[in-house]
Amino acid sequence: MNMTETATVKLGRPRGFCEDTALEAAMRVFWEKGYEGTSLTDLTEAMRINRASLYSSFGDKETLFRRALARYGEGPAAYLKVALQAPTARRVVETLLKGVVDLLGNPKNPRGCLSTQGALATGLGAEPIKNALIEWRKGAEAEIQKRFKRARTEGDLPEDINPGDLTRYLSSVVYGLGIMAANGDTKADLNRVVDMTLRTLPL
Amino acid sequence: MNMTETATVKLGRPRGFCEDTALEAAMRVFWEKGYEGTSLTDLTEAMRINRASLYSSFGDKETLFRRALARYGEGPAAYLKVALQAPTARRVVETLLKGVVDLLGNPKNPRGCLSTQGALATGLGAEPIKNALIEWRKGAEAEIQKRFKRARTEGDLPEDINPGDLTRYLSSVVYGLGIMAANGDTKADLNRVVDMTLRTLPL
DNA sequence: TCTATTTTGTACTGTTCGATCTAAAACATA
DNA sequence: TATGTTTTAGATCGAACAGTACAAAATAGA
């Protein structure tokens, strides 16, 4: 037996499901129903696996949600990372808002944004998840602010615009778009908000 | 016995609590923990009444939440009605945003806005509540839009600003402020967003 | 003091929750 | 075919949930 190599050959009964596909399904259920609103039965039905498989592959409900959130950041919400690479502050804002609308306005997606749909207010049991989502949002804000600070040094952010203020303002609009989408507003509605924002943007 | 008058004299054991005070307490619990995150035990403890009294006075949990929401609209969220009476479109916006910040920035209040904390995403059981909250928010938007349409006829809304677009944009900022507050941002943080909004407001 | 009426306190209902236990099933290796 | 290992399916766990039943308690009127 070769102890130095990681086992590439699997013993025992093989998996009857694809972990990636199952996680994607879990993410969408959480996105639609929120953390507390999603039951283990909801999850197992959507993921098409049973409880034992869920627990052995993903840990408990809270761990599964955290993995779903990470996947959300790298998948549906990846527009953020793309936007941060735009060449100027104005282009960052334009790309960011367009990405948000593409995500929130896509009728194939659950309504709203996972980070706000997941848990804004909770009972005692789900408080760690609520806090994780707050951290997630604040992390995104921090990245945007960092990008605007860079823009300041590169000269494409006016002197009278504070990077932190701009970040907070922009974040508010983005969060607001999430609520509008949760309200059932269409992509056209969301685009009107974005148009107004860009029209009045002081840069 | 006088049949024409409504009974002012109460028979039986008198109430041991004030219905108004109890409803206020219930409102704050829902505000803090959301609809699904609030248990009947949370409610009875905060309201300082027992289950039987709760059910006989307020009906079931869903009915109680609806009454709490109505109270929220007439109490903490009454700034909306005040703002709508401001003399010009710009003054409406200023008053509205100031009212929002006063509410969301008050550290004595639960974090965030009841209408979004209550239920954005839910399991099957709470879907009626989720929809009631959507209706509540849309109702507020409709009132604002109506006010801006009036402003248009009164000449204090520029021709190139669509009342509906302005309403949607403003609603987004307000919803966003609710999320920022839920994130734990302070009144000063919220005021920065309001300053930026007013600074760039096209009217 | 007695009766009618209403509220209160508490035990209890059935259901659903997240999580676990057990044994059968499905594979690789020998 | 026999053995070891892992996954699957389903039963089951105690706790918490929303809601209810019922008798004791507290009042007004007779």
Q: pLDDT digit string (tens) for B102-134? A: 999 999 999 999 999 999 999 999 999 999 999
**Co-location of B81 and B181 in the same domain:** yes
Closest nucleotide relative to residue B124's CA, C1' based:
C16
State the 10-residue block means of pLDDT for chain A, 203 residues long: 45 92 98 98 97 96 98 98 98 98 98 98 95 98 98 96 98 98 98 98 95
**Co-location of A45 and A86 in the same domain:** no
**pLDDT for the residue numbered B8:** 53
3-class DSSP assignment, residue A138: helix
- Last residue of a domain, which of A38, A53, A68? A68
Tell me which residue of B45, B43, B48 sits closest to B64, measured CA to CA.
B43
**Co-location of B84 and B157 in the same domain:** yes
pLDDT, mean of residues B155-176 = 97
**pLDDT for the residue numbered A161:** 97
Radius of gyration over every alpha carbon of chain A, rounded to an integer in angstroms: 20
3-class DSSP assignment, residue A87: coil
**Co-location of A89 and A143 in the same domain:** yes
**Co-location of B98 and B184 in the same domain:** yes
Cβ within 8 Å of residue B200, ≥6 positions away: A200, A201, A202
Residue B175, token pair as written in the block: 């919803």
d(CA B75, CA B171): 20
**Co-location of B65 and B92 in the same domain:** no
**pLDDT for the residue numbered B153:** 97
CB contact under 8 A, A169 and B197: yes
Any domain includes B2: no
Any domain includes B7: no
Q: Which nucleotides of C are covered by protein (CB under 7 A)?
A: 4-11, 16-22, 25-29
Tell me which residue of B197, B189, B201 sits closest to A141, measured CA to CA.
B189
**Co-location of A64 and A149 in the same domain:** no
Interface test with A, best of B45, B104, B179, B195 (most A CBs within 10 A): B179
Counting every residue written for chain B, the total comes to 203
Strand segments (E) across B78-165: none
Any domain includes A183: yes
**Co-location of A36 and A110 in the same domain:** no
User: Do residues A105 and A181 touch, judged by C-beta distance below 8 A?
Assistant: yes
**Co-location of B137 and B61 in the same domain:** no
Radius of gyration over every alpha carbon of chain B, rounded to an integer in angstroms: 20
Any domain includes B5: no
Overall number of domains in chain A: 2
Any domain includes A1: no
Any domain includes A64: yes
Chain B 52-81, CB < 7 Å to strand D: 52, 55, 60-62
Contact of A123 with chain B, judged by CB distance below 8 Å, is answered with yes
Reported confidence tier of residue B11, pLDDT bands at 50, 70, 90: confident
Any domain includes B58: yes
**Co-location of A104 and A131 in the same domain:** yes
Contact of B197 with chain A, judged by CB distance below 8 Å, is answered with yes
Interface test with B, best of A169, A189, A191, A197 (most B CBs within 10 A): A169
B31, B120, B171: residue with CB nearest A112: B120
Whole domain around residue B59: which residue ranges?
A: 19-72
Contacts of A194 in chain B (CB under 8 A): none
CATH number at residue A146: 1.10.357.10
Secondary structure letter of residue A48 according to DSSP: T
3-class DSSP assignment, residue B111: coil
Any domain includes A13: no
Secondary structure letter of residue A14 according to DSSP: P
Quote the mean pLDDT of chain B: 95
Contacts of B172 in chain A (CB under 8 A): 172-173, 176-177, 179-180, 193
User: Do residues A35 and A60 touch, judged by C-beta distance below 8 A?
Assistant: no
Secondary structure letter of residue B76 according to DSSP: T
Residue A18, token pair as written in the block: 């694809």
CATH number at residue B30: 1.10.10.60
**Co-location of B148 and B195 in the same domain:** yes
**Co-location of A79 and A64 in the same domain:** no
Measured at the alpha carbon of residue B126, what is the angle toward residues A185 and B105, in degrees to the nearest 5?
A: 65
Secondary structure letter of residue B125 according to DSSP: G
